[in-house]
Amino acid sequence: MTSLLQPYRLGDLSLPNRVVMAPMSRVRATADGLATPSMAAYYAQRATAGLIIGEGAHPNRVGQSNPGTPGLATAAQAASWEQVTSAVHANGGRIFAQIMHGGRVSHRDTTGLQPVGPSDLRVAGEVFTPSGPRPASAPRALETGEVPGQAASYAEAARRAVGAGFDGVELHGANGYLISQFLSSEVNRRTDAYGGSVANRIRFAVEAAAATADAVGADRTGIRLSPNGVIWGAVETDVLDQYTALLRELARLGLAYVHLEGTADEDLLLELRRAWPGTLIMNPSVPGEPKWTDRSAADHWLGLGADLVSFGRAFLANPDLVERLRTGLPLAPADESTYYQGGDRGYLTYPAHAYAA
């Protein structure tokens, strides 16, 4: 059976193990979306992961979802990431940037702009703003002629990311953000070439992936998906048909990997594993649910055909997670109150395991 600690070849990268650090928003960037020295230290602490996938970075101003998140929208934002990629590489690690366009999950007070989405349907509930949680702003439906420009924004951000030293990029196509909104039959009410049928609903995701692969290389491009997920109201129908069709198109592009979340039942996820001929990263947990990915879940999915397994919350309080998995050490709990509060407490203050003298 494949072992979590076995090496793996991902494109031109030699991964020393199959442990992936999942992307997690920590909102520690500056107000203008710059990465910081603390962020460099945070990722460098976790460089023993086979692959780190960084937190979601917005590709343009309208794509920013939350305050305090980093960007890849400007040259200055890209340059600020060089300290992060250099620190990870100096510690022997590998890191991809996640490119995240929030779409309708945003607020005017955060960006100064009206959010955009496939349709003009407002998100139910509150989003983060500089002054605290507030009801989401009503989005504007993108005009047909505007949609290719938003797809191209992922490619433009990817060029900046690779220029800043990232080893590749992951498109955030999950969890109710812009790509996921186009995939959702509930959120996407369009009647043009980007809505209605399965072929039309997957079009935006395919165009974004194709543009990015063309910009930085397919072997440097991955995508994260949450089939049958309902986060931010992005309910989907025809899930198996839709994702099978999407994976078929992505396979033609030769992407580096697909990163699936455990948002569907195991039988459906196994169907998608069979439909995807390339590298599969599996994240068995579901955002917002209490169960973390652990060694048991990782071994289970490696046995079912996943190539790599991503761990999210387990990495927060365990910068030495790979060593703890290797030796069977207990995992330290994370303080949820510090997930998004800013500052170094609950960010850089978790120690590696202390062995008794």
pLDDT in 10s for each residue of the chain, 357 residues: 689 999 999 999 999 999 999 999 999 999 999 999 999 999 999 999 999 999 999 999 999 999 999 999 999 999 999 999 999 999 999 999 999 999 999 999 999 999 999 999 999 989 999 999 999 999 999 999 999 999 999 999 999 999 999 999 999 999 999 999 999 999 999 999 999 999 999 999 999 999 999 999 999 999 999 999 989 989 999 999 999 999 999 999 999 999 999 999 999 999 999 999 999 999 998 776 777 888 999 999 999 999 999 999 999 999 999 999 999 999 999 999 999 988 999 999 999 886 544
Q: Which domains does the chain have, with CATH numbers?
A: 8-338 (3.20.20.70)
- Whole-angstrom distance, CA of residue 81 vs CA of residue 164: 6
Pairing of strands 116-117, 279-283: unpaired
Beta bridge pairs of residue 51: 20
Tokens standing for residue 245: 């069709």
Cα gap 115→63, rounded to integer Å: 8
Residues labelled catalytic = 177
Rounded CA separation 168/216 (Å): 8
Residues β-bridged to residue 98:
56, 170
Gap between the Cα atoms of 17 and 74, Å rounded: 33
- The Cα-based distances of 74 to 44, 52, 78, 270, 284 in angstroms read 24, 22, 6, 39, 34
Q: In 3D, which of 260, 253, 257, 264 has the Cα closest to residue 278?
A: 257
Tell me how long the chain is: 357
For the CA atoms of 222, 267, 1, 330, what is the dihedral angle to 10 degrees?
A: 80
- Count of C-beta atoms within a 10 Å radius of residue 143: 10
Q: Which long-range contacts (CB under 8 A, 24 or more apart) does 293-301 make?
A: 293/22, 294/331, 295/4, 295/325, 295/328, 298/4, 298/19, 298/325, 299/1, 299/4
- For the chain, helix, strand, coil in percent to 5 are 35, 15, 50
322 residue type, one letter: V
pTM for the structure as a whole: 0.96
